[in-house]
Structure 1
Amino acid sequence: MTAEPFGAPSPSAFEALSSDDPHAIGGYRLCALLGAGGMGRVYLAYTAGGRPVALKVVRPELAEDPGFRHRFAQEVASARRIHGFYTAQVVDAGTDATTPWLATTFVPGPSLQQVVHQHGPLPERTVLLLVAGIAEALHAIHAAGVVHRDLKPGNVLVAADGPRVIDFGIARAADANPLTGTGLRIGSPGFMAPEQALGLPATPATDVFALGALIACIGSGMPPFGDGPEPASLYRAIHEEPDLTHLPHGLHELVRLCLAKNPEDRPSTAWLIEAARNHPATGGELRISDGWLPEQVSSEIQRHTALPTTPPPPATLLDPGRSAAVAPAAPVLPAPAPDRPQPAAATRRAATTARRRARIALLTTAAFLVGGATIFVLLNSAYFDHHGNKDVAARGSHPPPSPSTSPQPTTASGYSVAYTNLELTSPDSDYEFDLKAGKVTQNNSTWYLGRENGAYYVPDDSAAYIPPAGPLTLTDCLKGIDTQPASTLPFTTLRVGRSFCVRYPGGQDIAIIRTLTDGSNDGPVKVSLTYYRHSA
């Protein structure tokens, strides 16, 4: 079990950086400390263009644990799929950095924990509006296949336009026996469902239980199972009914349903939203507008919107060519190298390493035992492209695109054709399409198309677009990637004949991919590739 993953902001909205704090992490300029907790420290930081973000850096001792790093990368990859109006969107991460970090949109407001601590219980209508927003956030989180596991007042920020749920699913990264000596806990007593306290798998219903406890806490100022020793709180959550003595009577039934001991007896997030809408205190309408918060809470939010003055960036950021003598004394953590796989992709690749080694070992053993029979396996038709050339699976490389297709005359918007309609086959999920080189490879490219869990994947800082249907042009891609970027590339959508496109990480090159065989995690997959290179 772990304590609060990254901690709630300190009583002072912004705390000045100390000499031990870095000036920059992953290319973001740090401005102030927002808080610290069991898993690390949270900073107010700025993008190169001046947009504020909340940047969370894990503790060094956690960063040294390979198991934690792997789980952290998995959770970050899952969190990046979540898009909800009432969630703090994950915008960037450095899971393979020396000290892993995570950047989310900055929410200018205090946590519910701070609000209740400073101003007491919230009015019934405010609580119901918060319930609807948090339930909508949970719906988006669960739709992405993620369970929060640590929903509590400290993990819900309050902005002028509604609540924001933060740290969804990230706490699970610390769920390992080797870390128990650090004093970390997964989940928070008083908000943990019985099944979670007993070590059983967490489900969406686990988050609904936590929401019920949160409602009771912000509506009464007291957790429903007491705030005494942790074992006592956990025991009461498992065996006893909640204490709702100080909670407004109009919220009792809602809370009791959420706090049902049996997960199957708890309501869904959609039901909770409708219950809040139909409650007499909301008058049949859910609307975040002026007056939805008590005046003193609105004033508190204003304090969080007055961001501190941004300190000048370190000399190394202003002029990379200066000597080390003018660099700041405080450390600057490096951004991931541009030619290395980006966070979620690095995780996917690490996860397949064991499978690849096992496969190679199996083929080697087969070659030793049965000799020529293995040759048949390696020369199976699935390992040839449409030219009759053996794929990388058979001989370790693929011939470059034909000179007749590269280069081509310049096309629209300063693009030229590198190759067109190049058909390639990936034998299984251990192999990726190298979009830049036009070949099939194993974990060796910087711009690639892989597959896992019923979907294609690309580097995290690539952008993709799936058109409604029909042929796809370069102009369509340039417009669609900027206006309708795709967050996932599922096989169910990209059936035979469907096309989609991908933009090079941090650049302008475009690849258009057309599916020639239905996607599969295990068997061969064939696609047609067209690559447009930008003159810049």
Structure 2
Amino acid sequence: MPNDPTPDSSLARAVFQPLRPDDPGEVGGYRLHARLGAGGMGRVYLSYTPGGRPVALKTVRPEFAQDPEFRRRFAHEVANARRIHGLYTAQVIDSGADAEVPWLATAYVPGPSLQQVVREHGALPVRTVLLLMGGVAEALQAIHGVGVVHRDLKPANVLLAADGPLVIDFGIARAADAVALTGTGFRIGSPAFMAPEQALGRPAGPATDVFALGALAAYVASGTPPFGEGPETAVLYRVVNEQPGLDRVPGDLRALLLRCLAKRPEDRPAPAEIIEAARTHPAVGGQLRFADDWLPLGVSTDITRRCDLRPHLPTAVSPASVPAQAPPGSFGAPHPPTRMSTAPAPTPPATVAAPAPPEQAKPRRRRRKRASWRAVLVVALVMALGGAVGGVLLVVEADQILGDTGTSDDTSPDTAASTATYAAAYTETVLTAPDDSYDFDITSGTLTPARSTPWAVGHNADGFLSPSDSDASITPSGRPTPAECGAAIDRQPATSLAFGDLPAGRAFCVRSRSTHDIAIVRVITVADSGPVTISMDYYRNGN
């Protein structure tokens, strides 16, 4: 197969994705050769140093790049990250904090992530889990030693090499906190591996990373996250209020993992204690050594095959995305393009969800005289999927299924919900108000000072406060659709939104009387005089 980039072209296609038309050809003097993946913070590309060593170059999302506070924090965190020289961390090589689109280059690790390993090989044995915990704990010592907190330690951010794990993306998530507070639809961290204090919007410290390490180790040892799967709001509720599910974790690991997963930060062990507990465990024989047999054979073989790709690193690009000649100063020798599959390879789930801009909403369609099978199918799919597709623009077209045979645009309020076309501005945006001096601004999906914006949900010691010029209703389902919200408001509008009627997991709807836009608010945690955490969806009425 003379046109294949390596003897194992299928593996090469899985690791290296061709550049797409919207990808740059060069960033900060580094010529880009392939995509390595994409995530909540941005995209990751393959490039080379001037001496020919491969590097992973990450560009941040445009939403982050436009925020001045993000840029300030990004520059600060990158400077700190360059001071980290742990043997279990991927070294930061270069950065462009002042570039139009900020970027960061780290040493390229050819091994798979823990997320990929568990997905492809299943749970790992106890000895491997203990070695991983010791290596990652040592990485946390190096990270915390320069005053950095990772904040997003998860299986996708731990790469495996033949000589141990390597932690990536340390500290950079903190730079995005500013966008999480001032932007829309962003949350820093992955719910299944977030500590309770993160889920509640409280400050993160070194113990936050220890909780994430415990959740990561439980996932690796059992094949499932310790707080289950499902909608993010449900996972966050379990993180804050329930004990981890460790039934599938080997018994001789549970005591250590339970200490790491303690709800209170002060009850969790320090990284040095984790290293000592792993070293003295009978399964490792009194010493932590990453010998040739520290990983199961199938995983070791996968790492070896990936390393064998290094002499054949592809330069395949989309012709439309890169100039015929690299810009002056670009690193990496030019090579003839290599044929690669243009089918997009799977990428990890994003840590945060970006809201679809309003202009991306589908144009309003002309109302039909009766419901079509397409509309019924769309509504059924939306009801089945609920908000699990958070952050993706979702248009729900609700035809007049019952009784309406007219074509006039003059729709009475009683039938408005059943004839509306809703576009999701954002979904599953998690917000925490530390006290009743903050409101949940529906339009922007952010926290705002109380009574500073007209369309916002507030709260007091007794319950939630619906905005003026709006109607509300408490729904039977925790995941109602916009059409169900409209119907509930028409049938049984709420006179109050008391905390006693809205336990965790329950939802209420708010509908503007002027625009008929709808907000769906799901309760995560409530406190009479403390923080209140909710998840909010906002749907614009296209009529």
Work out the CA distance in 1 between the residues paired with 2:174 and 2:329. Answer: 38
Q: What is the aligned partner in structure 2 of residue 293 from structure 1? A: 295
Q: 1:88 to 1:215 in 2, by over 3 A?
A: same
Work out the CA distance in 2 between the residues paired with 1:185 and 1:240. Answer: 21
1:159-178 superposed matches below 5 A:
159-176=161-178
Give how far 1:69 is off.
Answer: 1.2
Tell me the amino acid that sits aligned with residue 45 of structure 1.
Answer: S
Identical-pair percentage = 67
Give how far 1:31 is off.
Answer: 1.6
Tell me the amino acid that sits aligned with residue 25 of structure 1.
Answer: V
Work out the CA distance in 2 between the residues paired with 1:180 and 1:247. Answer: 39
Work out the CA distance in 2 between the residues paired with 1:235 and 1:311. Answer: 45
Check whether the contact 2:34–2:315 (CA below 8 A) recurs between aligned residues.
no
Q: What is the aligned partner in structure 2 of residue 94 from structure 1? A: 96
Q: 1:311 to 1:225 in 2, by over 3 A?
A: closer
Tell me the amino acid that sits aligned with residue 20 of structure 1.
Answer: D
Q: 1:218 aligns with which of 220, 231, 236?
A: 220
Q: What is the aligned partner in structure 1 of residue 35 from structure 2? A: 33
What CA RMSD, in Å, does the superposition of the two structures yield over aligned residues? 2.4
Give how far 1:152 is off.
Answer: 0.8
Q: What is the aligned partner in structure 2 of residue 154 from structure 1? A: 156
Give how far 1:18 is off.
Answer: 2.4
Q: 1:42 to 1:284 in 2, by over 3 A?
A: same
Work out the CA distance in 2 between the residues paired with 1:36 and 1:179. Answer: 23
SS at match of 1:190: helix
1:60-459 superposed matches below 5 A:
60-176=62-178, 183-305=185-307, 306-307=309-310, 308-311=312-315, 316-317=325-326
Check whether the contact 1:224–1:242 (CA below 8 A) recurs between aligned residues.
yes
Work out the CA distance in 1 between the residues paired with 2:13 and 2:301. Answer: 15
Q: Does 1:15 align with 2:17?
A: yes
SS at match of 1:301: helix
C-alpha distance after superposition, 1:85-110 (max 9, x if no partner) = 00011111000011110000111111
1:455-534 superposed matches below 5 A:
none
C-alpha distance after superposition, 1:248-285 (max 9, x if no partner) = 11110010000111111111101111111100110111
C-alpha distance after superposition, 1:202-235 (max 9, x if no partner) = 1111110111101100000111111122122112
SS at match of 2:36: strand
Tell me the amino acid that sits aligned with residue 114 of structure 1.
Answer: Q
Check whether the contact 2:16–2:314 (CA below 8 A) recurs between aligned residues.
no
Tell me the amino acid that sits aligned with residue 215 of structure 2.
Answer: A
Q: What is the aligned partner in structure 2 of residue 434 from structure 1? A: none
Compare 125-134 and 185-194 and name the one that shifted more.
185-194
C-alpha distance after superposition, 1:289-308 (max 9, x if no partner) = 11111111112212322134
Work out the CA distance in 1 between the residues paired with 2:303 and 2:207. Answer: 31
Check whether the contact 1:57–1:100 (CA below 8 A) recurs between aligned residues.
yes
Q: 1:11 to 1:198 in 2, by over 3 A?
A: farther
SS at match of 1:251: helix
Check whether the contact 1:10–1:35 (CA below 8 A) recurs between aligned residues.
no
Tell me the amino acid that sits aligned with residue 210 of structure 1.
Answer: A
Q: What is the aligned partner in structure 2 of residue 367 from structure 1? A: none
Q: What is the aligned partner in structure 1 of residue 61 from structure 2? A: 59
Work out the CA distance in 2 between the residues paired with 1:163 and 1:320. Answer: 33
Using the size of structure 2 for normalisation, the TM-score is: 0.55
Q: 1:309 to 1:90 in 2, by over 3 A?
A: closer
SS at match of 2:32: strand
Give how far 1:185 is off.
Answer: 1.7
Q: 1:11 to 1:273 in 2, by over 3 A?
A: farther
Give how far 1:16 is off.
Answer: 1.7
Q: What is the aligned partner in structure 1 of residue 423 from structure 2? A: none
SS at match of 1:222: coil
Q: 1:320 to 1:198 in 2, by over 3 A?
A: closer
Check whether the contact 1:27–1:47 (CA below 8 A) recurs between aligned residues.
no
Q: What is the aligned partner in structure 1 of residue 485 from structure 2? A: none
Work out the CA distance in 2 between the residues paired with 1:208 and 1:185. Answer: 20
Work out the CA distance in 1 between the residues paired with 2:283 and 2:251. Answer: 12
Work out the CA distance in 2 between the residues paired with 1:320 and 1:244. Answer: 53
Check whether the contact 1:11–1:114 (CA below 8 A) recurs between aligned residues.
no
Work out the CA distance in 1 between the residues paired with 2:66 and 2:226. Answer: 38
Q: 1:30 to 1:280 in 2, by over 3 A?
A: same
Work out the CA distance in 2 between the residues paired with 1:229 and 1:122. Answer: 26
Work out the CA distance in 1 between the residues paired with 2:138 and 2:328. Answer: 45
Work out the CA distance in 2 between the residues paired with 1:151 and 1:11. Answer: 27
Check whether the contact 2:211–2:268 (CA below 8 A) recurs between aligned residues.
yes
Work out the CA distance in 1 between the residues paired with 2:182 and 2:46. Answer: 29
SS at match of 1:176: helix
Give how far 1:19 is off.
Answer: 3.2
Give how far 1:178 is off.
Answer: 6.6
SS at match of 2:33: strand
Give how far 1:147 is off.
Answer: 0.5
Check whether the contact 1:27–1:48 (CA below 8 A) recurs between aligned residues.
no
Work out the CA distance in 1 between the residues paired with 2:247 and 2:114. Answer: 21
SS at match of 1:214: helix
Work out the CA distance in 2 between the residues paired with 1:24 and 1:320. Answer: 10
Q: What is the aligned partner in structure 1 of residue 491 from structure 2? A: none
SS at match of 1:12: helix
Work out the CA distance in 1 between the residues paired with 2:154 and 2:329. Answer: 43
Work out the CA distance in 1 between the residues paired with 2:12 and 2:253. Answer: 30
SS at match of 2:57: strand
Check whether the contact 1:13–1:303 (CA below 8 A) recurs between aligned residues.
no
Work out the CA distance in 1 between the residues paired with 2:146 and 2:192. Answer: 26
Work out the CA distance in 2 between the residues paired with 1:270 and 1:173. Answer: 27
Check whether the contact 1:29–1:47 (CA below 8 A) recurs between aligned residues.
no
Check whether the contact 1:92–1:103 (CA below 8 A) recurs between aligned residues.
yes
Count of equivalent residues? 314
Q: 1:311 to 1:239 in 2, by over 3 A?
A: closer
Work out the CA distance in 1 between the residues paired with 2:262 and 2:117. Answer: 27
Give how far 1:23 is off.
Answer: 2.4
Q: What is the aligned partner in structure 2 of residue 24 from structure 1? A: 26
Q: Which runs of 5+ in 1 are unaligned?
A: 1-8, 322-327, 329-536
Tell me the amino acid that sits aligned with residue 247 of structure 1.
Answer: V
